[in-house]
Structure 1
């Protein structure tokens, strides 16, 4: 049984095109006289997922990702489903250890979200599914959409109710409450400046891409083309998968991160290996990115046209930052993504000490079938408390035998 690693922190840190990708004026718009629209989304393992249709077919599930500059279809089978043939091929590259990927450039496709949002958008369609998002989330995921969505509307993102409210960009919409944060749009991606406390007495203004396709709180990549020093204590980790392949690095904590008037303390932070990340591209001027583990503590309004965002703290604001305490990377497989498979075990982790192995299948968690537990609930459970015991029933990959394992969570950072 061979299961590719499902990424943990990065979805797409950066998208660079090494062959020309012509982008005309493409956007979405309201139809039927609508001026605003509320859309529900699924929030799974720190990803925002919405359904949409393409050329009248679907629905297809797309990750809503501010960190991506062009719409990306990650499921190659959509080329056949949509009748896309003889596409021009380009090479795309991004963070990670591997080589450039091949993708086809589509003509303008008709995107439809619900009954009242329509627009023509070109996309890149991968020839191989590098990200394996379906296995990561436990549901079919077909692609990512970013700039075309967020530049078309003023977007109010409510993480607490899992809803998006979209307003016409011609509407003057200013939230009654919340702090205005300046945002710059560069290369079709949004950036902000935050104040990071890297060590006691060492503060630095950092330019971060706002990345709703990243699950971590914050990632620090480079400081003027020099890697940030990794604080102690830290753990070596597989941070995930970028366009260029696997991203390795460290997980540590920084003392504080300030965003406007809001300050977070003891923030779990990813430090990707320099050669896998910023070291691959000399033209990168950012210091890192800020992901959903911080953004979900606010109600956020994105206003690309106004070069700003508004943030207002919600009930999650004071929740402490935690990292996975199991050492497990999990992927869903089988028919309907109903088998929960261990894709990786980190050395020295709680899972390693409990004798869990790659390709073991977790059939039950705390006496409940794993396929009856939500993916997000499992994700939260595995970082829910130091020394917490979790009962797992495992089917061993080698022998097929069932056994019960007590997994004692261990805070490693």
Structure 2
């Protein structure tokens, strides 16, 4: 009896262990864990431990496999192994991207662990999200976590809750709406409705938490999905294969059952940038972070369900960049400053190559350099004389390094007529520019 009992226990433990290696398992008594995240430019950034090394990952419902940006030189630290070369394709107008596929990696997110996770290392510099976010992001992941666990995203309090499906208990919620999901290549799609030219149009949209925009629609005259006369051409973002451009506009409404978002931002990407995305049967576009953040969301991939409950961000007005400038954190600048002990000195600072230099005792600091990387033709910033490559030294009288990148970008989303004063370094020449934000919609 004892020997039989021991054999059964050993077999049970070994069987569970082997099965657990192929999925995420929450390793605590409650089989549920809460993980804080950073919400940056409508994007969710979570801590992910890979092979014992903690990194920052974007949680992206629109990506099927974890991707690490290998040009950040983290692959050696992670000791990834068992690699093979494959090609990946996504949004953007470029060619397929080469990646190294690695197997048998250990992933840990809070108490959720997977012992045998595939990982794709990509060397394409266009996938470096850190400069655009002003925050270190080493990779992106999505489906492999969502398919194994119930994932609750609380955008209002910035935390995830990961729970084992076997122990999860769904509470009744009269203020919630439940949606059925459809899946193609591990990506979730939802059927909702948009209102364009007073016409309610059913659409199938990718749920894309890895995009910071609100809504993308693919133009289709037969369905009535088209951009009206009130729009402007703009840079929309970066895809796996390069930059995406298109038209920015507004739609009358996006309807998710009882939840109606009026006058929502919309972008219509250029056809050449979305050729492969349109191959998904009946896909009409994407819902991204600027919509999703207005809800607290429960994803249950096993039941192909999503539950939405609007939060305190629901009524935030939709805005957009009215300056025409896109910035990126482009390295650092060396600045010399007067020491505090000499703060009462009457000597005046001199500008040399975009740096403040005092004749008295100085301190030397390395501060972030924010550069213009996209500039919309005909925009207020372009008409004022700003150029791509200009490094922002100050904005509205305050030195640029006293802001985060996101704080500066938020200024460009302000009210029409707001005056922006910038001082820039252009090829070691310090120049000043003024412009006012302009509402094109």
- In structure 1, distance between residues paired with 2:224 and 2:83: 39
Aligned to 1:288: 285
1:364–1:284 distance in 2 versus 1, CA, 3 Å: farther
Distance (whole Å) between structure 2 residues aligned to residue 367 and residue 34 of structure 1: 52
Separation (CA, whole Å) in 1 of partners of 2:32 and 2:81: 36
Higher relative contact order (CA 8 A, sep 6+): 1
Segments of structure 2 that go 5 or more residues without pairing to the other structure are 1-19, 333-365
Q: Which residue of 1 aligns with 2:344?
A: none
User: How far does residue 406 in structure 1 lie from its aligned partner after superposition?
Assistant: 2.6
Residues 48 and 280 (structure 1), Cα distance of their counterparts in 2 relative to 1, 3 Å cut: closer
Q: Choose which of 318, 321, 325 in structure 1 pairs with 2:318.
A: 321
Quick check: 2:206–2:283 contact (8 Å CA) kept in 1?
A: yes
> Which SS does the other structure have where 1:173 is aligned?
coil
Equivalences for residues 4-403 of structure 1 within 5 A: 26-57=22-53, 59-76=54-71, 77-84=73-80, 87-114=83-110, 116-119=111-114, 120-170=116-166, 171-174=168-171, 176=173, 177-200=175-198, 202-223=199-220, 228-278=225-275, 282-335=279-332, 338-395=368-425, 397-398=426-427, 400-403=428-431
Rounded Cα–Cα distance in structure 1 between residues aligned with 2:181 and 2:171: 15
Q: 1:175 to 1:45 in 2, by over 3 A?
A: farther
Q: Runs of 5+ in structure 1 lacking a partner? A: 1-23
Q: Distance in 2 between matches of 1:291 and 1:365?
A: 30
Given that residues 93 and 244 in structure 1 are in contact (C-alpha distance below 8 angstroms), is that contact kept between their aligned partners in structure 2?
yes
Q: Secondary structure of 2:414's partner? A: coil
> 1:331-373 CA distances to partner (integer Å, 9 max, x unpaired)?
1021488111111211111111221111111122233332232
Q: Using the alignment, how far apart are the partners of 1:379 and 1:334 within structure 2? A: 17
Offset, 1:131: 1.8
Q: Aligned residues, how many?
A: 385
Measure, in 2, the Cα distance between the counterparts of 1:263 and 1:234.
Answer: 22
Partner of 1:21: none
User: Quick check: 2:201–2:224 contact (8 Å CA) kept in 1?
Assistant: no
Distance in 1 (alpha carbons) for counterparts of 2:383 and 2:407: 23
Structure with the bigger percentage of helix: 2
**Conservation of the 8 A alpha-carbon contact between 2:91 and 2:276:** no
Q: Is the 8 A contact 2:234 2:248 kept in 1?
A: yes
Bigger radius of gyration among the two: 2
Asked if structure 2 preserves the Cα contact closer than 8 Å seen for 1:327 and 1:345, the reply is yes
1:278 touches 1:284 (CA, 8 Å); kept in 2? Answer: no
Query: Could you say what secondary structure the match of 1:268 adopts?
Result: strand
CA distance in 1, matches of 2:272, 2:388: 27
TM-score w.r.t. length of structure 2: 0.82
Q: Report the RMSD for the aligned CA atoms in angstroms.
A: 2.3
Counterparts of 2:289 and 2:157, CA distance in 1: 15
Determine helix, strand or coil for the equivalent of 1:33. Answer: coil
Change (3 A) 1:283 1:296: closer
